Homo-oligomer: A and B are copies of this chain.
C-alpha cells in the first residue's frame, strides 16, 4: 500500500567516479547509488528509499549532471532534505538541484537525450592534476581528422560495431545529434562532446578509441563507414579508459533539445 504522504523528487547530482564501482548498487564495491540511498535512509528515520536513475555509469566514469527520481515523505520540507543530503553525502558526490515533480515523472523513461564529454590531454608530458578526469594521449592528434570522424558518427546509425558484445539490448540503432570537439591550445586539452537519444554499453568509449586512432593517423577516416556497416565489434577500435568520460546533462525538455539540434545544424552551414 503506497503511502499518500509521499512526494516525488527529481534530483541532479555531480560526482567524481574515481573511487566507485559504478553507479548501480551491486554485491561488491562502493557505488554512487549505495551512498545516496544510505544518506536518504538516515534522513528517513532508517526506512529504505530506492532511487531511480536516468541510466547507469560504469566504474570510474564521472558525472556533472546525473538525474534520478525518488519518492520521499512530504513531512520533511524540500529545503531541509536538500541541506541534509549536502551534509551527509561524501565529498566526491554533490547534490546540485532538487525539485518536486509530478508523480508520473520517471528519470529514465522521460529522458529525451543525454550529453557526455570525453576529455583527452594530447601531450607527451602527463599532467598530474587532471590524471583522474582526462585521458593522456602522447601522440600528436590532428583536428581535421578528428572532425571527419565526428561528422561520420553524427546522425542515425546501427552502432553494433561500437558496443560491448555483452549488451543484451537488441535494437542498436541510435541517433547522435551532436559530435564535436573543442581544443584548449593553452592546456592541450581536447573536449569531445556527444549528444544522442541514447548510448549503448561502452559505446562512447569504443567510438573514442576509434576517433583517437583516426586522429593520430593509425587509421584512415574513410574506413569508418565500412566499420559502421559491418555491425561487428571486432572491426572498431579498442574500448578506452573510463576516466575521461563524464555524463554532462540529461534532457527532459523537448524545446531545449530542439534548440541544441538547431544550433548544431546552423554551425555546420557556416
Contact = CB atoms under 8 A, between A and B. Distances in A.
A62 B14 contact: no
Interface stretch (A89-97, A178-186, A194-202, A259-267): A89-97
Contacts of A126: 86, 91, 94
A90 to B, nearest CB: 9
A213 interface: no
A36 to B, nearest CB: 13
Nearest to A90: B128
A131 B14 contact: no
Contacts of A15: 128
A16 B92 contact: no
Interface string A79-104: 00000001000011111100000000
B91 A129 contact: no
A133 interface: yes
A143 interface: no
Interface residues on A, range: 10 to 19
A93, A96, A125, A128: most-surrounded residue (chain B CB, <10 A): A128
Contacts of A14: 127-129
Contact of A125 (B62, B86, B127, B128): B86
A16 B131 CA distance: 10
Nearest to A246: B129
Contact of A129 (B16, B86, B125): B16
A61 to B, nearest CB: 13
Interface of A: 14-16, 62, 64, 86, 91-96, 125-129, 131, 133
19 contacts: A14-B127, A14-B128, A14-B129, A15-B128, A16-B128, A16-B129, A16-B131, A62-B129, A64-B129, A91-B126, A92-B128, A92-B131, A93-B128, A94-B125, A94-B126, A94-B127, A94-B128, A95-B125, A96-B125
